[in-house]
Amino acid sequence: MRVVAEEEEDMLPSTPGKVKIERAGAMTRQLHRCFASTGTMFLWALFLVAMTATYLSFHSFVDTSSRYFAASWGGLHWERQIRASASPRRPPGSAEGAGLSVLVTGAAGFVGTHCSLALRKRGDGVVGIDNFNKYYDPSLKKARRALLASHGVFVVEGDINDGRLLTKLFDVVPFTHVLHLAAQAGVRYAMENPASYVHSNIAGLVSLLEACKEADPQPAVVWASSSSVYGLNNAVPFSEAHRTDRPASLYAATKKAGEEITHTYNHIYGLSVTGLRFFTVYGPWGRPDMAYFSFTRNILQGKPITVYRGRDHVDLARDFTYIDDIVRGCLASLDTAGRSTGTGGRKRGPAPYRIFNLGNTAPVTVPTLVSILERYLRVNAKRNVVEMPGNGDVPFTHANISLAREQLGYKPTTSLEMGLKKFVRWYLSYYGYNRGTQAFNNL
């Protein structure tokens, strides 16, 4: 302000009458300067605010991203885990060859866990992917993941609909095989949540096949179809040559669509494809939504069970197949798959396309299943028998396994009686029923 005053002295007018006007002019100029400097300060302040905001939002972005990646996938540490898990560990010169490197989808699921363990135990490399959805108790899926981790199998938490994740996995590891078991399972739940079947069994499948077709080398794909594709077929036992164009549920329809979709990728891109029609798979670490599992839970808790019955009071029957038999069928399918022929998303020649029934060839009625459980659990079930509602169920299933026997050497060896014994033993131990009691110890 002092400088301004001196400047004013220099500019004093020669005529007194003008003083007032000149003073007023000087004040205006002073105000202008003052405002000008306030404006500059305001701009600086604005600039600082903008810088601070940018800094803060950048930090929050980095923070959010790192939390996102920490919770899901990405980063050098993650890639190292994937590579280690995917590396086959067969001894050099082993009779079975170099070993496979398998991406197992749905690895924290029932069949996925058993197959991943079996592959790991014989020295193959395995990486799992699972979205850990809440269709049934995710704590069981997490327990399965912990079991896999204890055997050196890493399971990525992610969805097969995430194309970026799949591409990344194939960038990190040249998988020789994909065992695709991720799916929305359950026949009756399709009436409650149809969209989830389209999401996993159609969109998810296409997303996975896209990644497989682009991968170099292309993996051979073995995947889980279902006995339910036979739908209204009543020629028994069900053979791969029978009609499968009359599904009785949306679940079955999506599995049938999967067979057609995989055929397209085989035809256009040269992907080696094997579809396995599983027949009501059961066993330890099983699915809580399935009858044998939920019946066991209810019987032990003294709650009633609902037993469906077919038309004319005919009991429903299933070709219940024990998990170890299914695992052997899956591994034999991987071993005999034959190569995919495409590279860079282009077919270079014909590749195998196969479909097999994996059943037990010995259907058992649902009331018989209940009786076996009652015997092992030493509790009588409170049966509530009702007519089968029109919910997608079929009255019976029965597999013809000649093709699988011939081409895969598949030979189921476990009766329902034997298999349920192993399941009940696992159930009681997992849920802590036989702690401190002798009641079930001789099972």
Ligand X SMILES: O=C(O)[C@H]1O[C@H](OP(=O)(O)OP(=O)(O)OC[C@H]2O[C@@H](n3ccc(=O)[nH]c3=O)[C@H](O)[C@@H]2O)[C@H](O)[C@@H](O)[C@H]1O
Residue 309 DSSP SS3: strand
How far from the centroid of its chain's Cα atoms is residue 398's Cα? 28
Nearest distance from C-beta of residue 122 to ligand X, angstroms = 25
List 108, 148, 181, 291, residue binding ligand X (CB under 6 A): 291
Residue 279 in contact with ligand X, rule: CB under 6 A: yes
Residue 6 three-state SS: helix
* Cα separation, 225 vs 271, whole angstroms: 17
**265 catalytic residue (yes or no):** no
Q: Minimum distance from CB of 294 to ligand X (Å)?
A: 6
- Give the one residue of 136, 170, 238, 278 binding ligand X; rule: CB under 6 A: 278
Interface positions, 162-201, toward ligand X (CB under 6 A) = 185-187
Among the listed residues 135, 230, 251, 410, the single catalytic one is 251
- Is the Cβ–Cβ distance between 348 and 289 less than 8 Å? no
Minimum CB separation of residue 195 from ligand X in Å reads 17
DSSP one-letter string for 343-380: BTTB--S---EEEEEE--S--EEHHHHHHHHHHHHTS-
* Distance between CA atoms of residues 269 and 35, nearest Å: 72
316 is an interface residue for ligand X by CB under 6 A: yes
Total of residues contacting ligand X (CB under 6 A): 18
Q: Is 395 helix (H, G, I), strand (E, B) or coil?
A: coil
Q: Which residue is nearest to ligand X (CB)?
A: 226
Instruction: Output the six-digit token pair for 126.
Output: 């395995």
Q: CA-based diameter of the chain, in Å?
A: 125
Please identify, among the stretches 120-128, 163-171, 234-242, 305-313, the one whose residues bind ligand X according to the rule CB under 6 A. Answer: 305-313
Q: How far from 414 is each of 324, 361, 372, 382, CA to CA, in Å? A: 8, 11, 15, 28
Question: Based on CB atoms, which residue is closest to ligand X, 280 or 296?
Answer: 280
Binds ligand X by CB under 6 A, chosen from 308, 356, 410, 427: 308
- List, in order, residues 6 or more apart from 101 with CB less than 8 Å away: 86, 87, 88, 124, 125, 173, 174, 175, 176, 177
Least distance to ligand X from the beta carbon of 131, Å? 17
* Shortest Å, Cβ 184 to ligand X: 9
Task: Using the minimum distance from each CB to ligand X, give the nearer residue, 269 or 292.
Answer: 292
Is 315 a binding residue for ligand X by CB under 6 A? The answer is no
| Residue nearer to ligand X on the CB measure, 186 or 284 | 186
182, 160 in Cβ contact below 8 A? yes
If one asks whether residue 318 binds ligand X (CB under 6 A), the answer comes out as yes
By CB under 6 A, the residues from 195 to 234 that bind ligand X are 226-228
Query: Binding residue for ligand X (CB under 6 A) from 393, 403, 407, 429?
Result: 393
Q: Which of 280, 341, 360, 400 binds ligand X (CB under 6 A)?
A: 280
Closer of 207 and 368 to ligand X (Cβ): 368
* SS3 (DSSP) at 223: strand
Told to check if 401 binds ligand X by CB under 6 A, we report no
Cα-Cα end-to-end distance for the chain: 99
Q: By the criterion CB under 6 A, which residues form the site for ligand X?
A: 185-187, 226-228, 278-280, 290-291, 306-308, 316, 318, 366, 393
Catalytic site positions = 251
